[in-house]
Copies of this chain bind each other. A is one copy, B any other.
Amino acid sequence: MSADPTLAERLLRGDKRALARAITLVEDDRPEGWELVREVFPHTGNAAVVGFTGPPGVGKSTLLGALTKAERARERTVGVLSIDPSSPFTQGALLGDRIRLSEHFLDSGVFIRSMANRGALGGLSEAALQAALLMDAAGRDVVLVETVGVGQAEVDVMDHADTIVLVLMPGSGDSIQALKAGVMEIPDVIVVNKADHPLTDTMVREIRGVLSLGEQKGWRVPIVKTQAAHAIGIDELLEQLEAHRAYIQQEGTLLERRRRNLMNEVVAIASSRMRRELEASIREDADVQRLLDEVCERKLDPASAATQILARGLARAAE
């Protein structure tokens, strides 16, 4: 009698169902999920992880669909991780994009997964980073991570990417302003999608202007014009992604970046756990509730309350 292969074994063999199951375990914050990541972690580090960020509506999912097709044509396996915002409203637009990715559903070389923002900042990025590791362990050559928006949660998710792509479209002026104001970090590659728009070249010039304000040493950020819906510009984008990867490998910055990213990941996981512990203690602990009442009555200031709660939380966590 032969033992059934474990989930980890099936995952490492590239079994898509095992991968799906593993990500669900991580997403649900189940101990088996963390255990699994621990088990397969030595087999990670081989995938090229590319992060895509940019405002909603610029066509990131369509772009990822087109890129996936191009990678498959080169016989590389692809994992797509799509980080959705939790919406109090309809998610119509995002859903529409997802359908465009669905042509790959039957291809065993493509694995697509979306994760929903649960509101807890640490929670989502933590789970997303683990999911990317699981895809890596499952032998995906390329892992494409997509996030919406330019906030801190997205930055945290991007912390796991080897290459960061900012996707814009003509007219998405907020993002250029954000780049200019330094709210957003300079990405490795900039894509101007929907490049059939008459203002495309104006936008490319504007972006060049913003980039020229900062110091650029070594890697020169390319601006790639695409029309993802018509698969235009995708080959050039792929070339630029490969060029960036070759560059960071050659310069040793890939290792450096991964060290920094892994460190960020450790900090993010630890912070998120601490914050969760803290919030639980605030919700559940009657003594903490009394402290908060005193704050609301302006008898105790927030910093002193934080000190007291922290001392309690630490004592509890150290038990």
A residues with a Cβ closer than 8 A to B are 34, 37-38, 41-45, 55-57, 85-91, 93-94, 121, 129-130, 133, 148-153, 155, 171-175, 177-178, 180-183, 186, 210, 213-214, 255, 258-259, 262-263, 265-267, 269-271, 273-275, 278-279, 282, 292, 295-296, 298-306, 309-310, 313-315, 317-318
Residues of B within 8 A of A56 (CB): 174, 177-178, 180-181, 183
A-side interface mostly: helix
Residues of B within 8 A of A45 (CB): 298
Determine the distance from Cα of A266 to Cα of B289 in the docked complex, in whole angstroms.
12
* Pair A94/B181 contact, Cβ less than 8 Å: yes
* Pair A274/B278 contact, Cβ less than 8 Å: yes
New A-B pairs, 11, CB < 8 Å, besides A41-B301, A87-B182, A262-B295: A38-B301, A38-B303, A55-B173, A151-B183, A263-B292, A267-B275, A267-B279, A274-B274, A274-B310, A314-B314, A318-B318
Q: Which A-B residue pairs are the 7 nearest by beta carbons?
A: A87-B182, A152-B152, A151-B151, A174-B174, A41-B301, A55-B174, A269-B306
Interface centre among A130, A171, A181, A318 (most CB of B within 10 A): A181
* Pair B273/A310 contact, Cβ less than 8 Å: yes
* Pair A299/B266 contact, Cβ less than 8 Å: no
Closest to A318 in B: B314
Residues of B within 8 A of A94 (CB): 181
Closest to A57 in B: B177
Determine the distance from Cα of A213 to Cα of B87 in the docked complex, in whole angstroms.
11
Q: Given the interface contacts A152-B151, A299-B42, does A310 sit within 8 Å of B270 by beta carbon? A: yes
In the assembled complex, the CB of A94 is this many whole angstroms from the nearest CB of chain B, namely 7
Determine the distance from Cα of A295 to Cα of B203 in the docked complex, in whole angstroms.
41
* Pair A93/B262 contact, Cβ less than 8 Å: no
Specify which of B152, B183, B299, B306 is in contact with A121 (CB 8 Å cutoff).
B152
